[in-house]
Structure 1
């Protein structure tokens, strides 16, 4: 599975052109055709950051929300659900440890004070 396929799993139901997806991926230091590495926290975080950027773009375009309106959900409910998903992604991104700060046994190291 490549990075683009993994991103599409994360944003199911949102239609973007391949070039738009590629731009979003590049903005988060990912190459669409590279192999997705599920054991890399950095790769996971960058995929989630890309999904977050896409969801924020949808949330900032009210005319786009009308296109995603379903029969049983209003635009305000859609926006509320979208905002909840954005909040969940932000929390999840913050909780993923950085690869460079994690050791083989899962322990983490961080600097509490800086010069």
Structure 2
């Protein structure tokens, strides 16, 4: 599975062209969307989640999707609430993930520097 396919898994139901998805990946530092996705790397996961978060924020900024429509038993306002919850969930997940990993796999954080 390559990076582009992994991003599509994370953003199912959102239709974007491969070129648009590549831009989101490039903004997160993944310059080759066709490269093999490394599931064991927390850095790769973090970049995919950050790209997915950017896509969801772009969808949330599309005002035409946020109008109040009522069809059958669901309204578009429910879509807006669900989207907002998913954005919050991804933000929490990104904050809880390790930023840098050393060779030993431990996380380090330098609070004070002389």
TM-score by length of 2: 0.87
Q: Map of 1:17-56 to 2, 5 A cutoff? A: 17-30=17-30, 31-56=32-57
8 Å contact from structure 1 (residues 49, 93) kept in 2: yes
In the TM superposition, residue 64 of structure 1 has moved relative to its aligned partner by 3.7
Partner Cα separation in structure 1 for residue 80 and residue 44 of structure 2: 28
Give per-residue Cα distances to partners, 1:3-53, cap 9 Å, x unaligned.
000000000000001111111111111121011001111100000000000
Given that residues 58 and 65 in structure 1 are in contact (C-alpha distance below 8 angstroms), is that contact kept between their aligned partners in structure 2?
no
Distance in 2 (alpha carbons) for counterparts of 1:65 and 1:32:
30
Q: Name structure 2 gaps, 5 residues minimum.
A: none
Deviates more, 1:72-81 or 1:50-59: 72-81
Distance 2:75 2:26 in 1: 33
1:10 aligns with 2:42: no
How many residue pairs get aligned? The number is 111
Alpha-carbon distance change, 64 to 108 in structure 1, aligned in 2, over 3 angstroms: same
Structure 2 CA distance, aligned partners of 1:83 and 1:114? 38
- RMSD of equivalent CA atoms: 1.9
Alignment of 1:31-110 (within 5 A): 31-65=32-66, 71-98=72-99, 100-104=100-104, 106-110=105-109
Inter-partner Cα distance in structure 2 for 1:17 and 1:55: 15
Structure 1 residues 18-27 or 70-79, which shifts more? 70-79
